[in-house]
Structure 1
């Protein structure tokens, strides 16, 4: 456990063996079964989760009871309700496993301690949050300015693994479409009639 976590960490911010061992003492492994919750709406988000294996989704349930997916997380990605994690306020998102998953969890207390003890951890977190903000800004711009077909092409180009592993109805939810509309969009993009 922790191999992919440290591989990704070291790609962004190289660690000494001592720093890696220090960080390891603050990490908690967790396994989730498919459809098992990591976080439910209204709970306080206590962890940042790094996906070693599997796939998760973050979502809200709208007034009509429809699931609206806001994020996917596959191997090498992190997922959390960052607002709840940082403020201690109740979570607005639900997070559960699309596939059986193996996670590396960092608790709020561990996060705060690592920020103090390991300066490279702070650098790594800053890079992670910056990357997440850029992805969010890119997605928002896409939603408000691009036709649906272009949004789908961008998704398949930027995240081909998501399209291969995640059920189409979930991709439709992520894109704000019905599964039927997504099917028509996919047909137009691939040239099917």
Structure 2
């Protein structure tokens, strides 16, 4: 692991892009449904237990949360989408904020999309995939909570998702992996994708 990940610190939360840090350097964004284990994944990837706040209540991430690795490298936790108990008006605001961020943010180099392996490729996930395709953003998909399935079942789901993506989006720049935050499964593989986007050795 590049030592920069261990140095990650919370920087700022922004409801609108104008409140975000200066648009320079390198950023990677983490997206996913509210219950996909996004915060747990960020904590596992940075080797910190409480960098991104985890919650038993999905939908707690309501802003763009920026974490700094150093002066020029950042991770961004995007609002979790698709949680039914969050009012529609708020969800629309989240959607607008994310869409604006994906379209306008020059320092954004790629999107890390997290999906619960037991419920992959929901309508919301497809929307994110389409947004990234529209914005020509590379995407890395992590099928989270892989420890909830047997090794064979997890591998089978990975292959099924891979085949669906190939059929639906063809040769789009999308890579795919299994991930489990409690087991630290897939952390090194995630670092490979992030290192490439962030320009880290």
TM-score w.r.t. the length of structure 2 is 0.28
Q: Say which structure is richer in helix.
A: 1
Q: Which has the larger radius of gyration?
A: 1
TM-score w.r.t. the length of structure 1 is 0.29
